[in-house]
Amino acid sequence: MKLNDFLEKTKQYLKIQDELGFIAPRCINITVGKMKQLSELYRTKVKLEYDDDVGFKHNYFYHLYIDGIHFIACSDWQEARNYGFDECDFREEAEIWG
């Protein structure tokens, strides 16, 4: 599926949620890889965030906003390192890609 199609289908999904009266978080969970692709295609920065809650398996969060849609991804330490980030990048809420 092309990324433009992905974005359009996401908009339809959110519209259906509204029509059905879902009270749910207004963010779409996606993989870090998909977020990187969207960020680069739409030239929009991703904001990093760290949550040190001990109960979380994945403490590294990625936020992307495109056309009013909030995309969120999370990863563990190893995946964050695989993308070249360290904990400081997340604690300082660095903006990446785009």
User: pLDDT (tens digit, 0 to 9) for every residue of the chain, 98 residues total?
Assistant: 799 899 999 999 999 988 988 876 778 999 999 999 999 999 999 999 999 887 878 999 999 999 989 999 999 999 999 999 999 999 999 999 99
Question: Is position 19 within any domain?
Answer: no
Question: Is position 29 within any domain?
Answer: yes
Closest CA to 35 of 26, 24, 44: 44
Question: Is position 3 within any domain?
Answer: no
Answer whether 0.85 is exceeded by the pTM.
yes
Domain that holds residue 75: 25-96
Domain count, the chain: 1
**Per-residue pLDDT, 83:** 97
Question: Is position 82 within any domain?
Answer: yes
How far is Cα 63 from Cα 58, in angstroms, rounded to an integer?
14
**Per-residue pLDDT, 10:** 93
CA-based end-to-end distance of the chain: 20
Question: Is position 15 within any domain?
Answer: no
